[in-house]
Chain A
Amino acid sequence: MSTTIKKDAALRRAPELGGQPPAKRRRTVSERNRPLWMLTPGALLIGLIIIVPLILGIYIAMLQLDQYTIRKWISAPFIGLNNFVEAFTSTDLVHAFGNSVGFSVIATVITVPIGIYAALATQNAYRGRSLVRSMFLIPYVLPSFVVGSFWRTMLQHDGIINKALTGLGLPAGQWLTGPASFWVLILVEVWAAWPFIYLMALSGLQSVDQEVHEAAAIDGALWWTKLRYVIFPYLRGPVALACLIATLHHMNNFSLAFLLFGVPAPFDVQVLPTLVYSMSFTSLRFGMGAAMALISLLLIAIPLYFYLKAVRLDTGTDAGGKK
């Protein structure tokens, strides 16, 4: 922003400024006349649909709110922290918490090598690459509810997966109930989510300069040495960020578990989002549901904290999760 423009603009507006001291006349356009009112529609929406419900959620978590008291929820009995105590002592909460952590972390860990590999494999041009790239993204763009519904069909007892397994001489399994269901959820999530790591790794690869490749070639680096010491350092930042975001998304993913297993979900695959949902809308224990939702916020808080620290908020040219 050149000074002359600032000055011109300041002079132009000078009469309006009235008795302001001369020093302040040099303030930039952006410092005067800030159209902050333009923020109001967004602020109102976020206030009404996010902030107020958050506060309301905290209050509801301390009420004995169920299908009998919901009509007049304002006068529902206030029971303090009892919901929280009960959630920890006599519900599946701790189990679901563990499931959520396990599911999210394992899913992220499995997707990382696949995503990085896919980025490396599509970095060099070859015939048909754009087709491969488009195909890699399809699992990611399919809606969760579609992914859930067709995997559920495939995993039925008489479904294609068991048929293929018996065809190969392997034992058929019960995939949608019992201990296997936890791994099924991970498998399907991995199938749908790895392209995100791939995209982030790809954006990291694009920042590798040509000269770096040439230098590695001159040094006679083998492909593995080159990847390990030359290429991977470029990927560390974007992939670490991708892991944080991906873990957050796994933790918040309700649709997939809901579509695959329904609510109430089988014990082995009960994750926090489905537990909160079934507590609120199947058991109709609203207070308890709100308390559990608040507790689940603790889970999100850890990756979110690192995510917020990692994102550069206010640079002129580059922003956030990108590049």
Chain B
Amino acid sequence: MSNQTSDVVNEVPLETSRVLPSKPATRKTGRQTAAVYRLLPTPLLVGGTIVLCAMVAIPLLYIVFSSMNSDVEVARGAYFPTEFTLANYTKIWSTLPLGNGLMNSVMIAGLVAVVSSLLGIITAYVLVRFDFVGRITILRGLIGLQSVPGGLLLLPVFVLFASAGNYLGITVIGTYWGLFLAYLTFALPFSTWVMVTYLRGLPKELEEAARIDGSSSLGVLFRIIFPLSWPGLVVSGVFSFLLGWNDVMFASVLTRPNTQTVAVVLQIFGSSAEGGALPLYGQMMAASLVCAAPVVILYLIFQRFLVGGMTAGGVK
């Protein structure tokens, strides 16, 4: 796509290449080089960056400060606490079932991450290395399925799971398995797509060598492809985890109180806290931070891999 648009631009360096020495950048002083590559004038660069940072940081610091403030102060609209306290962080565990929610979320999202990465790499391997009828359709489907609105599937999935209980005697709603299956399926198109883009970059020669040595497809997959693909697996695993962690819609319908994920716990707490005489805003901010922490930490650890993954499939 960018090939077409950049045609015009590509002519510019071709014409000037006669004038320019082959490696001009190295012959210039650092200052000149910086000026050549600069995109924005300094005042605009500095000013805008400060504005953007403030836009991001002010609400973020608000959560942090409020989480260390008393409920009354936050409700009154205070930004800075008059006295810092960590009491909210000890109280939240008893005012809302946060521990249980965190446990459920870690379990479900973690399992989704592992299984969807595994299935993703297997599916992607077949799609990348073998040619068969319907292959392009499947690739297109992987993109299309990522955009299917959850709201469209929520009700039929609920009815389907409810029928499994009514007609087959298998309880699905309210169990971990129902939610796990749903998230796994929604994560799969993206995981597969990430692995498709990743496996395309792997050289075929190693696999061919292994095949000549008599390795089966499964052998190739697990002995050759798998060890080479862990950066791709990290991306698909983390995003599958986040899908399970961030979802509210399915979790609010498919769970019972003891299987609620942390997203639902926080949502219920948020909507019920305001009904009370004294809204527990300080505690709500503390709980929000606790819910956000694993996600932000995961992202900071794997930032290098994830940024590519975010643009690869357009997550979220």
Judging by beta carbons under 8 Å apart, are B153 and A57 in contact? yes
Total A-B Cβ pairs within 8 A = 367
Nearest to A45 among chain B residues (CB) is B185
Q: Is the CB of A53 within 8 A of B153?
A: yes
Question: At the interface, yes or no: A85 with Cβ under 8 Å from chain B?
Answer: no
Q: Say yes or no for B59: interface residue by CB 8 A criterion.
A: yes
Q: How far is the CB of B131 from chain A (nearest CB, A)?
A: 6
Main secondary structure of the interface of B (DSSP, over half): helix
CA gap between A179 and B45 in the complex, in Å: 35
Contact of B2 among A151, A234, A259 (CB under 8 A): A234
Asked if residues B248 and A153 are in contact (CB atoms below 8 Å), the reply is no
The answer for the CA separation of A52 and B153 in the assembled complex, in Å, is 10
Residues of A within 8 A of B314 (CB): 196, 241-242, 245-246, 248-249, 321
Min CB–CB distance B117 → chain A (angstroms): 12
Q: Is the CB of B160 within 8 A of A56?
A: yes
The answer for the CA separation of A211 and B160 in the assembled complex, in Å, is 59
- Interface positions, chain B 30-82, Cβ under 8 Å from A, are 34-41, 45, 48-49, 52-53, 55-57, 59-60, 62-63, 66, 74-79
The digit string for A114-136, where 1 denotes a CB below 8 A from any CB of B, is 10011011111000000010111
For the residues of A in contact with B, the DSSP-based class is: helix
CB of B170 closer than 8 Å to a CB of A = no
Which residues does A use to contact B, with CB under 8 Å?
1, 5, 8-9, 12, 29-31, 33-36, 38-39, 41-42, 45-46, 48-50, 52-54, 56-57, 60, 70-73, 114, 117-118, 120-124, 132, 134-146, 148-154, 156, 158-160, 162-163, 191, 193, 196, 199-200, 203-204, 207, 209-219, 223, 226-227, 230-231, 233-234, 236-238, 241-242, 245-246, 248-249, 251-252, 254-255, 258-259, 262, 272-273, 276-277, 280-281, 286, 289-290, 293-294, 296-297, 300, 304, 307-308, 310-314, 316-317, 319-323
Chain B min CB distance to A240 (Å) = 8
Q: Which of A36, A72, A141, A276 contacts B126 (CB 8 A)?
A: A36
* A314 contact from B13, B125, B136, B155, Cβ within 8 A: B136
A45, B181: Cβ atoms closer than 8 Å: yes
In the assembled complex, B92 has its CB within 8 A of some CB on chain A: no
With A38-B122, A142-B295: A322-B24 Cβ-Cβ less than 8 Å:
no
